[in-house]
Amino acid sequence: RPSLSLVYLPHLDYNLQRLGPDDPRIGPDLEAIDRVAGELIDFYRARGVRVGVLSEYGIEAVRQPVHLNRLLRRRGWLAVKDELGTETLEVFSSAAFAVADHQVAHIYVRDPARVCEVREAVAAEPGVAEVLGREELAERGLAHERSGDLVAVAAKGAWFTYYYWEDEAKAPDFARTVDIHRKPGYDPVELFLDPAIRFPKLALGSRLVRKKLGFRTLMDVIPLDAGLVRGSHGRVPEETGDWPVLALEGTELARQMDAVEVFPQLVRFARASEG
């Protein structure tokens, strides 16, 4: 049998981003994950398998979307291309652009001489807590060769969008669809159906029928309102109760550890379980 089995339970991820951690409607999700986790733990323990529990991150309440690419565009650093009346991001023509991931954004700057100027502009944007340069990234173990020249961290209650258009009418067609490959950053608004659609089930059904019939069809049912998002993650929350959790059966762990220590802990746990 395998020395380590990994089981992903996504139950809390989606509604915590839709509703936020303080919404009472999250109750059924908590009950569901408790039930499923309990069943899995019982299943593995009955077979003599030690169990570990790891939460990838803790989600905190947010109310403030921050549009870094729009800021970079207003400063003349981000370039877009007109495609039949819509705009697409021109990465290779941009002096600077941001790739957003929840409460963290990697900012790539073409000219090293412009990094300080870009850093100052981003740091002054409301909703930005700090901007890390190469030295700070190295100190925090984040100086990966693919990381941004700068990394922005959101303030409490804020998160970063990938949006770069100023006029919704010029948003690219994929903006209103679930499309993780063409969007320059994670888009939690994909978790919502556009509230402006009066009959969402009918809208979805009609698009699916057209697709089944072989017509080229966009599943353009996603809103462009970043204010709908109520939960996010990425920054280090002030309250440790909002931090991720690691519990390994039969293993004494430090009360706090760096995220990079999780993998070695899991490896040691798996090897000890083999013995």
Q: What is the pLDDT of residues 55-100, one digit of tens each?
A: 888 899 999 999 999 999 999 999 999 999 999 999 999 999 999 9
Q: Name residues of the chain where pLDDT drops below 70.
A: 275
Do the beta carbons of residue 33 and residue 11 sit within 8 Å? Answer: yes
Residue 33: its H or E element: helix 27-45
What pLDDT, on a 0 to 100 scale, did the predictor assign at position 226? 97
What pLDDT, on a 0 to 100 scale, did the predictor assign at position 255? 85
Question: Quick one: fold of 64-232?
Answer: Gyrase A; domain 2 (3.30.1360)
Of the CA atoms within 13 Å of residue 51, those in its CB half-sphere come to 14
What pLDDT, on a 0 to 100 scale, did the predictor assign at position 259? 85
| Residue for token pair 């220590």 | 261
Start-end of CATH 3.30.1360.110 domains in the chain: 64-232
What pLDDT, on a 0 to 100 scale, did the predictor assign at position 4? 80
What pLDDT, on a 0 to 100 scale, did the predictor assign at position 81? 96
Distances (CA, A) of 70 to 60, 106, 207: 24, 15, 31
What pLDDT, on a 0 to 100 scale, did the predictor assign at position 270? 86
What pLDDT, on a 0 to 100 scale, did the predictor assign at position 225? 97
Burial of 247: CB neighbours in 10 Å, binned 0-12, 13-18, 19+: exposed
What pLDDT, on a 0 to 100 scale, did the predictor assign at position 275? 60
